[in-house]
C-alpha cells in the first residue's frame, strides 16, 4: 500500500498515513454527502487527517474527489470483472451482476449511494476531467459489456434468441443505475431482489 507523510504532529516528526485508507474514507464521505455538500474541514474529520495534510497530499478538494473516484471505479470494476470472467452461463452472469447492484442499493450501503452518480450529477456538466471519467463513452463500454453477456447467453442457450441484445443491455444498465439512485431513499433488500427477478423474466 502507498503512504504519504502527515506532518500534523509537528516539524521533524512526520507520520505516515495510508493513502488507500484515506481514499476509502473519502469515498464513503463523498458518497453520502455529495461533492458540493462537503468542505475540506468536513473531509479532515472524515479522513482523520489535518487539513494541511489533505492539501499537501491532494492540493485541493477536486483532486481528492478525482482520486477517490478513480479508486472507487477500479475496486468496483475488479468485482465486476470477476463475475464476467467466471465460467457461468450468460444468464447467470447477468443475474449476478444485477444482484451485485441490488446488494449495493439497500439499507445503509444503499443510502451511501454511488460515487459515479455523484460525479455525473454534480460535476460532469462543468468539469471536463470528471466528465471524462463518467462520460457517455464509459456508459457505452458498460452497455457493450452487458450486450456481450447477453449474446453469450443466447449462444449457450440460457437467454432467448428473441431478446434484442443491444436494447436489453441498455435497459439493464439503466435498471442497475436506477437501483443505486433508489438506494439513497432507503430500500429493503427483498424489494431490490424482486426487481432483479422481474428483470430476469425479460430474458425468457
Provide the pLDDT confidence category of residue 8 given band limits of 50, 70 and 90: very low
Between CA 19 and CA 1 the distance in angstroms is 8
Question: What residues have CB less than 8 Å from 102, skipping those under 6 apart?
Answer: 179, 189, 192, 193, 195, 196
Separation CA 65–CA 188 (nearest Å): 29
Q: Are the CB atoms for 199 and 175 separated by under 8 Å?
A: yes
Cell 449495493 sits on residue: 104
Whether residue 12 is predicted with pLDDT greater than 60 in this model: the reply is: no
Task: Please tell me which residue, 155 or 134, carries the higher pLDDT value.
Answer: 155
Q: Is the confidence at residue 10, as pLDDT, over 80?
A: no
Share of the chain above pLDDT 70, in %: 92
Average pLDDT (162-169) is: 97
pLDDT (average), residues 106-121:
91
Q: Is the pLDDT of residue 11 over 60?
A: no
pTM equals 0.84
Which residue from 101, 105, 104, 135 is spatially nearest to 120, judged by alpha carbons? 135
Residues 6+ apart with CB under 8 A from 81: none
Total length of the chain: 204
Quote the percentage of the chain above a pLDDT of 90: 75
Identify which has the larger pLDDT, 52 or 14. 52
Q: What is the pLDDT of residue 133?
A: 87
pLDDT of residue 141: 85
Q: Average pLDDT for residues 77-88, to the nearest whole number?
A: 91
* Choice among 7-11, 22-26, 87-91 with the minimum mean pLDDT: 7-11
Average pLDDT for 2-11: 47
Amino acid at each position: 500500500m502507498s503512504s504519504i507523510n502527515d506532518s500534523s504532529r509537528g516539524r521533524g516528526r512526520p507520520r505516515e498515513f495510508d493513502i488507500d485508507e484515506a481514499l476509502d474514507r473519502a469515498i464513503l464521505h463523498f458518497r453520502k454527502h455529495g461533492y458540493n455538500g462537503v468542505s475540506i474541514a468536513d473531509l479532515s474529520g472524515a479522513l482523520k487527517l489535518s487539513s494541511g495534510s489533505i492539501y499537501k497530499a491532494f492540493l485541493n478538494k477536486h483532486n481528492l474527489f478525482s482520486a477517490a473516484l478513480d479508486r472507487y471505479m477500479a475496486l468496483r470494476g475488479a468485482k465486476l470483472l470477476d463475475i464476467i470472467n467466471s465460467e457461468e452461463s450468460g444468464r447467470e452472469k447477468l443475474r449476478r451482476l444485477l444482484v451485485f447492484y441490488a446488494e449495493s442499493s439497500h439499507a445503509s450501503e444503499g443510502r451511501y449511494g454511488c460515487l459515479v452518480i455523484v460525479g455525473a450529477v454534480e460535476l460532469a456538466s462543468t468539469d471536463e476531467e470528471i466528465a471524462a471519467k463518467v462520460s457517455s463513452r464509459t456508459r457505452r463500454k458498460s452497455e457493450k459489456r452487458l450486450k456481450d453477456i447477453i449474446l453469450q447467453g443466447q449462444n449457450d442457450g440460457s437467454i432467448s434468441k428473441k431478446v434484442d441484445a443491444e436494447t436489453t443491455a441498455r435497459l439493464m444498465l439503466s435498471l442497475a443505475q436506477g437501483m443505486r439512485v433508489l438506494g439513497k431513499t432507503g430500500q429493503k433488500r427483498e424489494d431490490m431482489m424482486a426487481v432483479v427477478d422481474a428483470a430476469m423474466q425479460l430474458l425468457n
